[in-house]
Amino acid sequence: MIDGKSRTIDYLRISVTDRCNLRCVYCMPEKGVEWMPHEAVLRYEDILRLCRVFAGLGVTKYKITGGEPLVRKGLDTLISGIKAIPGAESVTITTNGVLLKEQLPALLEAGLDGVNISLDTLDPARYQELTRRDELKAVMGSLKAALGAPGLNVKINCVPTGDRSRDWLELAALAREERAAVRFIELMPLGLGRSLASCTEAEIRRLLEKEYGPMAPFVGKLGNGPCRYFTVPGFLGKIGFISAMSHQFCHQCNRVRLTAGGFLKTCLQYNEGIELSPLLKGSDRQLREAIRAAIYRKPGAHQFAAGAGAGLEGHLMNQIGG
């Protein structure tokens, strides 16, 4: 559908849990996390019903996220359910990769179109520091399995923080040997992200170009979102940048988010949206009208650069889904 700012909204990010098996420093605190009670989490059948309503409003692309989506059992059944919705063009997941290898066959069987693996370093000690867990080996096994799956679109997502040039060079080099895209996502000043030093697209580009040669903008359509892709001499895969801070893309925003508890969140920065779980008692028509009205009011742009303001998001990223 078209929102109140004339943007086409056709992409839904669905968080299936707020739980996670890692504790990334920019996303979750090390201790004292309060989980959403199980009974407050939407059941798959409710998510599927909502997806059908969203499909009726023009959503064609679905991303499953969390928390860590693969810690929730039976994700393959949700994926095959969404794939069966008329008009569903793609169903993808974003995962930390820890549990992906063992679940990949079932996910592929369910019709998964693509996977984004979040990975910020290839160095075991740095991985432990950044995620507070020792799971790099499992993630690398999953990455290998995903790259070996015919037809699966694989992307590697890194949120660069601090000053870790070697990590970024090594991650980018994965795109030299593989067709996968390696994408650098600028840290958003949300939740724990507020307290960390971020790194801009311009800084990463300078670093990569110095090492690997000039990058050229990739002309053509790749993916469903705001990522801008570049080719690098001798690289099979592409390098991408999602730069919400230095290259704000709100005017092209095509997405809304459904939290694990059933809140339809229309902008990452604000609490704007509507609680859908109470409306599940009503008819599909009522749901549809409530969703339509909320999307119509989707905020025009984030104002992270302008600092704090009223109605700002107070949740952590694992509760929102990224």
Q: Residue 240: which H helix or E strand, with range?
A: strand 239-242
Q: How far is the CB of 220 from ligand SF4 (least distance, A)?
A: 29
The interface with ligand SAM within residues 116-175 (CB under 6 A) comprises 118, 157, 159
Assess 27 for contact with ligand SAM (CB under 6 A).
yes
**Looking at 63-71, 76-84, 172-180, 223-231, which segment touches ligand SAM (CB under 6 A)?**
63-71
Q: Which is nearer to ligand SAM, 298 or 302 (CB)?
A: 302
Among 3, 68, 135, 201, binds ligand SAM (CB under 6 A): 68
Among 42, 50, 172, 185, binds ligand SAM (CB under 6 A): 185
Q: Which is nearer to ligand SAM, 198 or 266 (CB)?
A: 198
Given a contact cutoff of 8 angstroms between Cβ atoms, the answer to whether 273 and 250 are in contact is no
Assess 103 for contact with ligand SAM (CB under 6 A).
no
Given a contact cutoff of 8 angstroms between Cβ atoms, the answer to whether 257 and 274 are in contact is no
Assess 263 for contact with ligand SAM (CB under 6 A).
no
* Strand 11-15, strand 255-258: pairing: parallel
Q: What is the C-alpha to C-alpha distance for residues 10 and 212, in angstroms, rounded to an integer? A: 36
Angle, alpha carbons 37-16-82 (nearest 5°): 140
Assess 313 for contact with ligand SAM (CB under 6 A).
no
Binding site for ligand SF4 (CB under 6 A): 20, 22-24, 27-28, 66-68, 96, 118, 317-318
Return the number of other C-beta atoms located less than 10 Å from residue 101's C-beta. Answer: 17
Helix runs in 57-195, H state only = 75-83, 100-110, 124-131, 136-147, 165-177
Residues in the chain: 322
Residue 136 to residues 114, 191, 202, 211: CA-CA distances in angstroms? 21, 24, 28, 25
Place of tokens 């995903």: 146
Q: Which does 187 bind (CB under 5 to 8 A by kind): ligand SAM, ligand SF4, none?
A: ligand SAM
Catalog residues that contact ligand SAM under the rule CB under 6 A: 20, 26-27, 65-66, 68, 94-96, 118, 157, 159, 185, 187-188, 190, 193, 317-318, 321-322
